[in-house]
Amino acid sequence: MRFLSIYALFNSLAMVTSAAAQTPGAALDDELRALRGDLDGLRLSIEDATAQLLVMNQRLRQLEESDPPPGATPPRRVVPAGPIQQTITHGDQLEAQGFRPGSLYARFVTDQLIDRAKLRPGANPYSYVQLDQPFGFAWWVQQARQRGIKLAFRVMMLNSDSQYDGAVWMRDVMGWPGLSFTWQGRELWTPDHSDQRVREFFGALYQTIADRFSDDLEYVDGHGFGLWGEWHYNDDRGRHTRPEDPVHDYKWSIDVFERVFPDVPKLVTVKRPQGTPSAPGHPNAAEGCRYAISKGWGFRLDGAGDPFHSARDLGGAGYYEDALTYMGAWDVIGRVPVACEPAGTLNVGGWTQQGGVGGFDWWHILETQIDRYGICYLNNKGAPVVNWARPQFRELLEKMEANLARVK
């Protein structure tokens, strides 16, 4: 109604102005006085509406930053979906806060992607790659399709906390070579990816995924070997248990991704070559990363928030800085996708610029790294954000959304 009143009033002004030359002076004065009265009334209405709007906005912010009472529906404000990468486990919690994931993110051990009944030494790997297992690759793609989004994924040859055996079927059934090392008191085994049979399986697995699901992929997390599929071959004290693999092994795996996923974005986890007594360097892995960047890949920042990877970066010199310099990645920022995976979850730690609790100051860490590294994706591992930090989280997502729009 107020918008109609403004339109009518401005229309009256135009009519009065155009007729001023033909209207007797006394009649024009009367018309102008009436018009001024209408303007005064409209000004008061606008001021009143503005004051009411401010009160309503303040109340909405209070509701968004507080825990809702039991049984109440939290206030929802759906923000741009692109940056958030969500696992399904807690996706409903994040969505209940008004944050809709823009893609799903899944990590698979190889046990989830094979048919054990078809394993035979010497068998063609295409005969036992299986993507339709319960909660396997096809299931995740279907979950993404139902949400109208895509899937990003990583395959892990082994996972320290997996209920699956990782890749020991390669050793126990197929007789392939590998190596063992200790992680947090457990002995882990991973295949030697310089062996041709391992390479053939690697190629067949990704080719099968590409043939069926390339159009459903947001991006490929392009590693696969080592602990968590992140090219780790050291124990939990930082000690390497084998000589570093020849660098051509890493380049070979990158070439596989290049061949089978030509039109799907690909990311590589940053690695730096030099190390310290307590934190090993990864010289050949870093060389592999540099090779991936030269092919036009994006990159993933792993462990954001932990002191080793991130804290020193806030001062301009740390793991990421060293790695990106060696990889030659500074020149591609703003032109390639960049993902960030927090070391913890965003429902713990600090969200203040003055300093966090529990070792994580998410606001400062993410704000600094989003701008400096061009972060487009945030894999928050499915956890909701603490309620009172939601406005800050929205602000960070809007920055990531702008970064994503530039590279897509």
The secondary structure of the chain, three-state, reads: CHHHHHHHHHHHHHHHHHHHHHCCHHHHHHHHHHHHHHHHHHHHHHHHHHHHHHHHHHHHHHHHCCCCCCCCCCCCCCCCCCCEEECCCCHHHHHHCCCCCCEEEEEEEHHHHECHHHCCCCCCHHHCECCCCCCCHHHHHHHHHHCCCEEEEEEECECCCCCCCCCHHHHHCCCCCEEEEEECCEEEEEECCCCHHHHHHHHHHHHHHHHHHHHHEEEEECCCCCECCCCECECCCCCECCCCCCHHHHHHHHHHHHHHCCCCCEEEECCCCCCECCECCCHHHHHHHHHHHHCCCEEEEEEECCCCCCHHHHHCCCHHHHHHHHHCCHHHECCECEEEEECCCCCCCECCCCCCECCEEHHHHHHHHHHHHCCCEEECCCCCCCHHHHHHHHHHHHHHHHHHHHHC
Whether residue 386 sits in one domain with residue 351: yes
The pLDDT, as a whole number, for residue 60 is: 43
Task: Kindly calculate the radius of gyration of the chain based on its CA atoms and give it in whole angstroms.
Answer: 29
Cα–chain-centroid distance for residue 210? 21
Whether residue 103 sits in one domain with residue 13: no
In this predicted model, what pLDDT tens digit does every residue of 9-24 receive, in sequence order? 333 333 333 444 444 5
Structural domain includes residue 93? yes
> Could you give the number of structural domains in the chain?
2
Instruction: State phi, psi for 345 to the nearest 5 degrees.
Output: -120, 155
Structural domain includes residue 154? yes
Structural domain includes residue 113? yes
The pLDDT, as a whole number, for residue 165 is: 61
Whether residue 353 sits in one domain with residue 222: yes
Whether residue 351 sits in one domain with residue 274: yes
Last residue of a domain, one of 64, 95, 115: 64
The pLDDT, as a whole number, for residue 278 is: 47
Whether residue 59 sits in one domain with residue 98: no
- Low-confidence residues in the chain, pLDDT < 70: 1-95, 161-165, 234-248, 274-282, 305-317, 344-345, 347-361, 381-383
Q: Are 65 and 388 in contact (CB under 8 A)?
A: yes
Cα–chain-centroid distance for residue 242? 32
Whether residue 138 sits in one domain with residue 32: no
Give the pair of three-digit tokens for residue 291: 């090779």
Residue 27: domain span = 2-64
Whether residue 110 sits in one domain with residue 169: yes
- Alpha helices, H only, 214-310: 247-260, 283-294
Structural domain includes residue 73? no
pTM over 0.85: no
The pLDDT, as a whole number, for residue 101 is: 81
The Cα 135–Cα 312 span in angstroms is 39
Structural domain includes residue 40? yes
Structural domain includes residue 74? no
The pLDDT, as a whole number, for residue 286 is: 83
The pLDDT, as a whole number, for residue 13 is: 33
Give the pair of three-digit tokens for residue 34: 């009436």
In sequence order, the 6+-apart residues with CB closer than 8 A to the CB of 5 are: 42, 45
The pLDDT, as a whole number, for residue 387 is: 76
The Cα 297–Cα 336 span in angstroms is 7
Q: Looking at residue 366, which CATH number applies to its domain?
A: 3.20.20.80
Structural domain includes residue 69? no
The pLDDT, as a whole number, for residue 226 is: 79
In this predicted model, what pLDDT tens digit does every residue of 182-210 receive, in sequence order? 777 777 888 888 899 999 999 999 999 99
The pLDDT, as a whole number, for residue 8 is: 30
Last residue of a domain, one of 64, 93, 111: 64
The Cα 399–Cα 19 span in angstroms is 52
Whether residue 150 sits in one domain with residue 122: yes
Whether residue 91 sits in one domain with residue 60: no
Last residue of a domain, one of 34, 64, 94: 64
Whether residue 142 sits in one domain with residue 60: no
Structural domain includes residue 258? yes
Whether residue 322 sits in one domain with residue 270: yes
Query: What is the greatest pairwise CA distance in the chain?
Result: 107
The pLDDT, as a whole number, for residue 279 is: 53
Whether residue 97 sits in one domain with residue 22: no
